Structure 1
Amino acid sequence: MMDTRKFAVLILSLCALLAQAQVPKDKTLLWSISGQGLPQTSYLFGTMHLVCENDFELDQSVQDKLRQSQQLVLEVDMDDPEMASKMMQAMFMKDGSTLQDLMAPATYQHLEGYFKDSLGYDLALFQNTLPFLLLGPMFNGLLDCEPKSFENELMTIAMEQKLEVVGLESIEEQMAVLGKIPYAKQAEMVTALVANLPKAKEEFRSLVATYQTQDIDRLYRLSENSEFDMQTYDKELLADRNQAWIGRMAEGMKVKSSFFAVGAAHLGGEEGLISLLRDAGYEVLPVFK
């Protein structure tokens, strides 16, 4: 049985892998939010949901700002005791489709062999799930390591400080975003990654290295030039969710100093959180080391 919190991070990572966005040129992932009558400053931090332990670093400035806050706000509430049951209810295709229905026989056999021989999974376990969820077991192979999660580390700090942990959206809302993408298209994207795994690994290593420099403009350009066709659903994966989050962020900041931690792809561009917050009258400034 997969750990619920780990599975939630995998879902976050799927949205991040599938999202592209223009980002600000400031070389920082941490931003302060003030103005609009807020009683105290809140913070916005861009994460890369999963990286190898050797690549993981949580800057002291990020830790300090979290400890100064009153609540940690993630994309979803990973502290929700009902998360496992909610995910189980939302992870299946709604029309009775199976993976075999969505793929040519030879493609399915290749994928079945990859899951059995390289990942140690029986593909039959995923017959009725959203095809994108196949990317979850693939992450270890994509990174060539046991992944480490920024969200889990932030939650550890929050719990030590006895901070409340909440989410910007429900797990049902997040899973519904994936469900908007046609199942056949999901299956096509997954099989393309498996067929070009060395190139996918190379791209991911470049993204991780760029994330470490906090050069989010270059991070965007690398994503924009991806050889994998995953930009078609930017509106559903980024813009629509950002718009929905802004009002929820505003309500939370009125009550408590909040530390928002979301995928870095959500920060930039005209429809990104930084621009939307500024359009709403907030002062959003880069926080450097």
Structure 2
Amino acid sequence: MKNRISKILKFALCSIFIVQVAFAQQPKEKALLWKVTGNGLEKPSYVFGTIHLICADKYEMSDAVLNAVENADKIALELDMDDPAMNAKIQQLSINPGMKNIQEHIPADKVEVVDNYFKAKYGQGIAQMGVLKPFVLSSMVLLGNMSCETRQFEAEFVKLAAAQEKELIGLETVEYQIGLFDDLSTEKQIEALIEAIETPEESNKMMNEMMAAYTEKDLKQLGKIIKDNEDFEGFNDKLLVQRNKNWIPIIEKLSREQSVFYAVGAGHLTSEEGVIALLRKEGFTVEAVK
């Protein structure tokens, strides 16, 4: 059970690609792979936008992406997915402090709804599952509602790093990512959990729209979809803008040392405060790779 939860949460933690629609230096090209040169770099680096939850029949790893990985000296993901200590960290951080159960925070008329869902899907009710943080349970619901077999780009990059004997690193820690959700109140997290259980058609509709935009490499449309589905005011700034700003000095430092292939959620590549625009503001040349 713990291993299953760990895998689900690890998957969910890498699915933060909230997008804001903006202008200025927002990339206009339909592209997911970008080449970074200039500003004193000895070798090019690459930035690739992923979608962390996609149906297997829509999954595609292009030759251009594979070539970029092969040409790079190092691979950087949002998290170091190859860290042997990550499973233990995730298991520890996904449980409520003191093993407290969230059941007392669920509205009385919704307890049975939540309990029945987890008994049907996972064989255990809220009495057992409720020690997990609500956002962890929400991620399990969203994955459980998917009607297709899914693939994960990050898992493939972990395999490629091992096969090509390249170092794999993370741009941030799992503690930081989980902390973003911990900043949301328990009540807001439970609200999202109940909504995910009661309206699976809504989340499926959004995911289908996002997958369609992604396969068309249409970052602007992807941004519009996510913007229209924003749940909590101000949360986008934490999930997107601040993280982009955190990554830029790291990307600059690493890219000056070696050629690096960066793979982050596609939403981080759009808007005037996205990774592409911020790198251009720092003086780098960032070009779409078709």
TM over 0.5: yes
The aligned counterpart of 1:172 is: 175
Cα contact 1:42–1:259 (8 A) shared by 2:
yes
Cα contact 1:21–1:266 (8 A) shared by 2:
no
Aligned partner of 2:81: which letter? M
3-state secondary structure, aligned to 1:24: coil
The aligned counterpart of 1:275 is: 277
3-state secondary structure, aligned to 2:231: coil
Alpha-carbon separation, structure 1, partners of 2:41 and 2:210? 35
Distance 1:141 1:45, change over 3 A: same
Distance 1:43 1:125, change over 3 A: farther
Aligned partner of 2:200: which letter? L
Which of 228-237 and 154-163 deviates more?
228-237
Cα contact 2:241–2:274 (8 A) shared by 1:
yes
Q: What are the superposed Cα offsets for residues 178-221 of structure 1, whole Å, 9 maximum, x if unpaired? A: 11111211111121122111121111111111111101111112
Cα contact 2:268–2:274 (8 A) shared by 1:
yes
Cα contact 1:143–1:201 (8 A) shared by 2:
yes
**Residue 257 (structure 1) aligned to one of 253, 256, 259:** 259
Alpha-carbon separation, structure 2, partners of 1:126 and 1:120? 10
Alpha-carbon separation, structure 2, partners of 1:246 and 1:193? 34
Alpha-carbon separation, structure 2, partners of 1:255 and 1:243? 20
Identity over the aligned pairs, expressed in percent?
A: 30
Alpha-carbon separation, structure 2, partners of 1:73 and 1:199? 33
The aligned counterpart of 1:2 is: 3
Distance 1:231 1:69, change over 3 A: farther
Aligned partner of 1:196: which letter? T
3-state secondary structure, aligned to 1:2: helix
Query: Normalization by structure 2: what TM-score?
Result: 0.91
Alpha-carbon separation, structure 1, partners of 2:73 and 2:8? 24
Alpha-carbon separation, structure 1, partners of 2:210 and 2:57? 15
Query: Normalization by structure 1: what TM-score?
Result: 0.91
Which of 84-93 and 69-78 deviates more?
84-93
Aligned partner of 2:267: which letter? A
Cα contact 2:39–2:283 (8 A) shared by 1:
yes
Cα contact 1:189–1:230 (8 A) shared by 2:
no
Cα contact 1:48–1:264 (8 A) shared by 2:
yes
3-state secondary structure, aligned to 1:259: strand
Aligned length: 284
Distance 1:61 1:120, change over 3 A: farther
Flag structure 1 segments of 5+ consecutive residues without an equivalent. none
Q: What are the superposed Cα offsets for residues 129-173 of structure 1, whole Å, 9 maximum, x if unpaired? A: 321111332243332133211100122122111111000001111
